[in-house]
Structure 1
């Protein structure tokens, strides 16, 4: 394209090669310490501060160029072409703030940060809000109810923010200086503020330019028109006309988005936090141990397997660093794209530019000289890295020596300068590691080297650590010298939080040999690591110590004095320490537990039983007395079955326990029998959650004397029904003949309802007939007005139940009852005869079934040919079961109908269902069919109809 005499005046101070090189280098240099900070898998405070210093330096220089450009546009005249170049370089400069933000998010999200902010949207929204609120003047916050002036926090760390400096709480505590403290926060995170202002200034220049590129600036109309007509800009390597309307609209929208200060950081922040959120849902790779082989790894090349394992383990160790790493790669790519696009545009538009563009003036020389500042920052970072790496190597050597339990090596590494309070992988301290490997000489060596005896303690003040270290060593010396006994040493160590010292006291504790398997659970807790640690079955240290009593009272007392102890922590089945003490009669443990702070004396097991319930059942009177005087004790608390402690005591005959419980004001006596009947206010008809009364339980258990006492109580409801409709008479009827006396008592009671039916429609007679209660059936049949043919909801009568169950004597009794319906059918169409035959097999019960069938066949009006809903008669069932004798017996009935073809069809095509899942062997069925064929042939020979 010909440009004629059209030229764009040169501006070496804006687009000169020296200025461009300086900006390119200073922006690319900021990535080196950022990647370096991620290399070891952890961003430290020093690395974050170094990144902040370098980013601030670069942003200050970027501000200088941007402000200079705006001034030139308003005074000397800055062309639209050079303004577009300035904007492209400004986008590169903005990445400095984003790099710092990535490292800041990683630093705040690390597990090692004691004021960690999880990488979630809600957590970071609160954190950003807190930072914003912190810089608002205290008086304004007070007026808007964001804080309460004069409020004093009880949190000892409340005076420090997540960044280790004054926070909003400082303003609350030191009301007169809140503005000064807010200013500290602004200065501390100045790079984010500077980045936001730079974005705003850049967006303002961009909106000015792209509102109309031809009228931009002052006195450059001709040059602007030249650039608008002939200049090309590069976007992702592709040349686009400078005057493109689509480019103008897109640019205008983008710059408008980033115009508002503060808000303009939200989009990049949301993008980077989104990366963290996505990374959190991915599965975390686990490292490959020695001897393990990763899936799909080559087996023929050991060196390659080794290399794959190292790479895989390196990725696994640095997995949490991938979000910021990917973010940095993205930002680096953006910078490289801008560099390429700027250079392509300058090269493409070389014919338009004046020759002055290449002149090295003061601006370019100054830009190159200003490179000294980012180079200085990078050099300082590198030099600071060396001692840091040396310290890291020393600390790792110390960790190896501790894990090996080698005291001499520990001394060597400490002498070389290893940090006795170093923290290793998993945020574990050196003293913590030594306690875990159970090397007491190593623990002592670390303490003598200045280690913090407070195992979980991190970020503690140096003077506090030194004081605790001296106090712990003094305590150990007194213990070894014999001037302090173990119990007092244990109590003092627990009070001061000397977890390391407690390791020395463990061997002095009474640990019976047969309880050796219990020690690991509370040894870990006693070390100060986690006093509420649990075993696989949910057992806590405190529960293990109670279960191991006697002899562990000192351990129990110590654990109960440890801050944060959960005295109610239960195992997987709900067993608490107090329940264990009540169950195993550990009086000393119970005495300590009932007065422990926060103890819940009514905490139940998974089946609802309380400590008092167990103590009452087992008759542990001493423990019961401690429990009864405990504040808040519920003496009537029922378990899941509705049984109270008093119920258990009465059921077990614990008269002393019953007397103790009855003396408690407010005791609920409604479910207790015998001794409790004389108690005032007794409700003899009280029911548990299943609707069972005391009379029902007594009848079910066969307690004749208790039943007699209950029946004598005025107002007792003999016909009270449970939730399934059962009565006490039914409960006695469905048990063995050993309960005959109970049954007779109930049956002789006026008002007893012998016709009552439960939810399945069964009467007491039905229950007695089905389980073979001969005497109960006989007694019931003698009751005037008894209904012997009452069927349940499935149509089963007492006769059908007895015939199916093989109760010959009851069948005989029922058949002798006037009005008995021998052909009554169930809802499935079966009768007493068909069910009796169906129950018969060629086994020891076959003779019994044969006798029952003969009894039924001898009954007048018996229908031998009746078929059920599936068309199966007694004869078909006999053949199906291979019952040869029953087939012969049935064939003796004069009215029997024999149709062998029909029987064969039924045997070959039985219905689906459990009743037809176990047919007789084919050979026995064939024998039955042969008998029937012979019988059919003989009838035909006599001219009789057998169909």
Structure 2
């Protein structure tokens, strides 16, 4: 048959196809790497977010170029179907990120969301309300990070508090980049699909090529050859693309289906008691099949308090190679990952199916296309060069991470609470000291800057030393006393903090408490052996600090305990 469809190597050339295939298949490697140790850390989620954003931006370029070409140089309906198939592959990056996001938010930690419909409804509603909003130059970023609202998303690790140029100029903040880009990409793809299938013969300006495509060409769907002239294919395509046309709503259906499956699965496997996250309670740490070691082979930190849950008699070791292998798999495997792994497998299968169908479609219609289809062009070479970006992200995931070094950087740049918890849980040295910063340890950061009770409890349960001082506030106990934070003072004293260590602005914890004027804290320090007559600091003694600020009740209490000056 005489070729009647002009070749378009910038659309369906081998270079363009290979680039799109590779970047979409490579995107599953960091996703699986994130899940490999049983949980998705915040910094892993941020890395997947960066990769998905890169691929989606490239996908936008393909769609925009196709639409412009259809209106100017001309684009055949046959090549438009190829672009739509490639776009479906690119869309899977949105759902990869969604799977990891749900897994991350569902697992144990300070930002955990309960596995029930109401909790997730509130979270999604809060996310939509803050996705695009007017920027406020007076927003206290640190206050946002420290908010007790579980729906507030902390900033990413090691990221500056400065707003983007876009938000600074237009005073608009955009959050949820992957979801917004994915939704807009779906809408643009749906618009192209409706444009094509509303009247395939008049699509673009390639009337002769369109007539040839309708009359002779076909497409492969799930291995089955379907002619482009099929009225059933046209009606089905119009209905499908109409569903995904409205931005925002086009993500609700697929995400609701997966989230429903996940919540149903987790509800069936949920522990008997679900409550607020408490790092000192082993019941919240030791969920079924949780890993005992991190990637580097070090044991995860465990709280010292004895669990009240009776474990029951231990099972005898299984016999036989197959039984031992199954037993080891069950010990390693986290059952709550099953829906996420199934979702990943489904998305991977979607990519493979589209890849095979595209290649079979091109082979089936090769006789209809002119010979310049196989010419290497600037567009194909550029597409291959764009592979550098996802390969760069892949290299980051392949590198072995020193979690202690990451924790030092996180402390230096005052990273979010969730980031700090992720790194400590993965085996970072909780007592590592950072030079040249106001808060040399993660505990001092939590107590002095964040004043975060939950994070302080987590760190102390993980072995943080409460007696490491800084240059300004002294030890964590002295800092908590100067801020009159009774809950943190109790936690520190219960963990063995020494109330008589000297240093810092107020000399001792008792002098800091006397200055802040909290009688209960002073009583607690005295009950734990605080010396009332240690001299040093701004006011000399605790009694002088209380006297200078007029705290008569504290003065009387100190004199009762032997304060002389």
User: Which residue matches 2:386?
Assistant: 370
CA drift of 1:108 comes to: 2.3
Structure 1 alignment gaps of length 5 or more:
140-152, 167-178, 403-409, 435-442, 451-461, 476-491, 507-553, 562-947
- Asked if 1:102 corresponds to 2:129, the answer is no
Superposed counterparts of 1:632-643, under 5 Å: none
Query: C-alpha distance in 2, partners of 1:137/1:474?
Result: 38
Structure 1 residues 18 and 138: CA distance shift in structure 2, 3 A: closer
Q: Structure 1 residues 184 and 131 mapped into 2: Cα distance closer, same or farther (>3 Å)?
A: farther
How many angstroms apart in 1 are the aligned matches of 2:199 and 2:259? 36
Moved more, 116-125 or 348-357: 116-125
Could you tell me how far apart the structure 2 residues matched to 1:79 and 1:400 are?
53
For each residue in 1:154-201, what CA deviation from the matched residue of structure 2 results, as whole angstroms up to 9, or x when unmatched?
A: 9962799621259xxxxxxxxxxxx86996641x42221111111111
Aligned twin of 1:344: 360
Aligned to 2:414: none
Query: TM-score, normalised on structure 2?
Result: 0.65
2:331 is aligned to 313
TM-score, reference length from structure 1: 0.40
Corresponding residue to 1:163 among 140, 146, 153: 153
- The verdict on how the C-alpha distance between 1:335 and 1:420 changes in structure 2, with shifts beyond 3 A counting, is same
The residue number in structure 2 matching 1:335 is: 351
Greater relative CO (CA pairs within 8 A, separation 6+): 2
- Give the 5 Å matches for 1:656-675: none
Paired position in structure 2 for 1:45: 42
Q: Deviations over 1:434-486 (max 9, x none)?
A: 5xxxxxxxx7xx22457xxxxxxxxxxx999x7662528999xxxxxxxxxxx
Contact 1:165 1:185 in 2 (8 A): no
Structure 1 SS opposite 2:245 = coil
Would you say the 8 A contact 2:3–2:369 is kept in 1?
A: no
| Deviations 1:197-221 (CA, angstroms, capped at 9, x unpaired) | 1111100000011112111111x12
Matching residue within 421, 435, 458 for 1:429: 458
Higher alpha-carbon deviation: 348-357 or 248-257? 348-357
What is the alpha-carbon distance in structure 2 between the residues aligned to residue 389 and residue 7 of structure 1? 63
1:488-499 matches, cutoff 5 A: 494=486, 496-499=488-491
1:292 and 2:314 are equivalent in the alignment: yes
CA distance in 1, matches of 2:393, 2:15: 20
Does the Cα contact within 8 Å between 1:420 and 1:449 map onto a contact in 2?
A: no
Question: Which consecutive unaligned segments of at least 5 residues does structure 2 have?
Answer: 136-142, 157-166, 271-286, 291-310, 408-420, 447-453, 499-519, 528-565
Aligned twin of 1:191: 178
CA deviation profile, 1:100-140 (whole Å, cap 9, x unmatched)? 122222222232133x333433333322322333356669x
CA contact (8 A) 1:135 1:182 kept: no
Change (3 A) 1:386 1:231: same
1:210 match:
197
- Note the aligned Cα RMSD (angstroms): 4.6
- The equivalent residue for 2:252 is 266
Of 127, 133, 141, the residue aligned with 1:131 is 127
Equivalent residue number for residue 175 of structure 1? none
Instruction: For residue 496 of structure 1, report the CA deviation from its aligned partner.
Output: 4.5
**Structure 1 residue 251: Cα displacement:** 0.7
Which of the two has higher C-alpha Rg? Answer: 1
Match of 2:281 in 1: none
Q: 2:212 aligns with which of 226, 229, 243?
A: 226
| Aligned CA distance change for structure 1 residues 347 and 400 (closer, same or farther; 3 Å) | closer
CA distance in 1, matches of 2:11, 2:55: 16
Q: Is the 2:197–2:237 Cα contact (8 Å) retained in structure 1?
A: yes
Q: Is the 8 A contact 1:119 1:273 kept in 2?
A: no
Name the CA shift for 1:468/1:42 in 2 (closer, same or farther; >3 Å).
Answer: farther
Matches within 5 A, 1:902-941: none
Paired residue total:
426
Alignment of 1:594-673 (within 5 A): none
Per the alignment, residue 387 of structure 1 pairs with 402
Q: Conserved in 1, the CA contact under 8 Å of 2:433 and 2:441? A: no
- Equivalent residue in structure 2 for 1:471, among 462, 466, 478: 478
2: distance between equivalents of 1:334 and 1:341? 11
Q: Secondary structure at the match of 1:281?
A: helix
Matches within 5 A, 1:410-425: none
Mapped to 2, the partners of 1:311 and 1:30 lie a distance apart of 26
Question: Do structure 1's residue 25 and structure 2's residue 22 form an aligned pair?
Answer: yes
Q: CA deviation at 1:414?
A: 5.9
Partner of 1:118: 114
Shift of 1:493: 8.9
Give the alignment partner of residue 236 of structure 1, picking from 213, 218, 222. Answer: 222
Deviations 1:600-641 (A, max 9, x none): xxxxxxxxxxxxxxxxxxxxxxxxxxxxxxxxxxxxxxxxxx
Structure 2 distance, partners of 1:275, 1:30, is 23
